[in-house]
Amino acid sequence: MRAITARAGMGLVVFAALGVAAPLRISQSAFKPAPNGLPSGWTVWAARSEIAPKTFVDSTCYRGETGSLAISGNSNAAEYGGWEYRAPRISPGQWYRFAAYYRAEGLQDEASQVVARLDWRTADDKVAGRPDYPYAITRDGEWTRLTLDAPAPEKAAAVKIELYLANAPQATLWWDDISLEEIVDPGPRVITVAAVKFHPQKTHSASENVSQFLELIERAVPAKTDVILLPEGMTVAGTGKADAEVAEPLAGPTAERLGEVARRKHAYIIAGIYEREAPAVYNTAILIDRAGRLVGKYRKVYLPREEIEAGLTPGNDYPVFRTDFGKIGIMICWDVEYADPARALALKGAEMILMPIWDGNPTLTRARAIENHVFLTSSTYGDASLILDPNGEALAAASENGTVAVAKIDLNRRYDDAWLGNMRERFMKELRLDVPVKR
């Protein structure tokens, strides 16, 4: 087994000559059992002996060099536990990158049954802040890489790397290539978001509506705004026309005109239109990038009965879009009445949800931000247009017709609870999607 290292090679000599500690880098693989059956530095843990899994060093399943840390559920439905390693020389406020590879057989719910935790400890081995839960994964053949970047909390002097198998009686889980290293503080990732609050009145065409929205954008949206959100069905509100009457192809005249503004403003624009594809008409939100290109669409999944009776067709997917500042998802109006659209977007990695909406329930809008721990922005005709943080707090609101809510948001800010820890991480690890829900 490779021991704790701190930047191999001449770097160690340079740091020693300068009288400063080398940056921490822990790299573990090629595990070999000592006489007690445990690799050097590793222990095993379970809350009670009767629910302890079977732990062993496996020389037949590994990524590179012989030897991995294995855990078997041992046919015990109550099984919970696994491997632990205490890493010293942790500095409060310093950022660290954790990574580990795992492979598993016999799991029922991978997200909840494969558990990695960073349990921050003080110098005298007391709790220093709440644990962090790595959850971001990338597949690498039969193995999966699990990662997390996180800062050490105040008073942290060490961290226990905890690698567990949870309630998986028929499963075997292998851990390998485990690392923890110092990284540079990523700093803020700040963007400016604008949510329009405007209801056209007594217009006669989709084109006239678009003109009024564009005039408001030019007048009220500040320079250097990154995201501009417009409401649901911006081409029909106030026209007196039916939804199908204003429906147009996805890359139609509205997208073209919005693209010109997006390019001039160097901003992303999300807007609700009615999309026609052959006989189908969809309540759609389009995404236009800073260069004015149509780069995405979301078709409203939850249609209220009024839209079904008007002949609209529902969508069937919750896409997430990668922008130059992060990942976003889109919902439309009635979607907010149900938990699964926002949940699906969060699970796919959306950091902010943009929601064109006609009118709605602000309490549910806040709930979707809180329960999924994401920023959520709405653009409305009725209630206030809102820019919410992951705690459901309004960073900006526009309640008067013809106004715009504008706020700067930091997508890198951690929203930690003093008692619960980082709920975004816990949401990813603790959400039970394996339990059947029957109508």
**pLDDT at site 20:** 59
Q: Where are the domains of the chain?
A: 11-185, 190-411
What are the backbone angles phi and psi of residue 42, rounded to the nearest 5°?
Answer: -105, 145
Calpha distance 48→169 (Å, rounded): 16
* Tens digits of residue pLDDT in 348-374: 999 999 999 999 999 999 999 999 999
Closest CA to 379 of 327, 318, 330, 310: 330
Calpha distance 89→224 (Å, rounded): 42
Lookup: tokens for 385:
């247009």
Closest CA to 97 of 60, 149, 143, 57: 149
**pLDDT at site 439:** 87
* Tens digits of residue pLDDT in 85-100: 999 999 999 999 999 9
**pLDDT at site 437:** 87
* Tens digits of residue pLDDT in 30-47: 999 999 999 999 999 999
Closest CA to 404 of 137, 151, 221, 185: 221
Domains 11-185 and 190-411 share a fold: no
Give 147's strand partners. 99, 136
- The CATH architecture one would assign to domain 190-411 is 4-Layer Sandwich (3.60)
Which residues are CB-contacts of 94 (< 8 A; sequence separation ≥ 6)?
151, 152, 182
Q: Half-sphere exposure of residue 178, counting CA atoms within 13 Å on the CB side?
A: 30
Lookup: tokens for 259:
């693209």
Domain 11-185 bears CATH identifier 3.40.50.300: no
Q: Which residues of the chain have pLDDT under 50?
A: 1-16
Closest CA to 97 of 185, 173, 21: 185
Cβ contact 53:26 at 8 Å: no
* CA 280 from centre of chain: 32
Which residues are CB-contacts of 320 (< 8 A; sequence separation ≥ 6)?
327, 328, 329, 345, 348, 349, 350
Lookup: tokens for 134:
């790595």
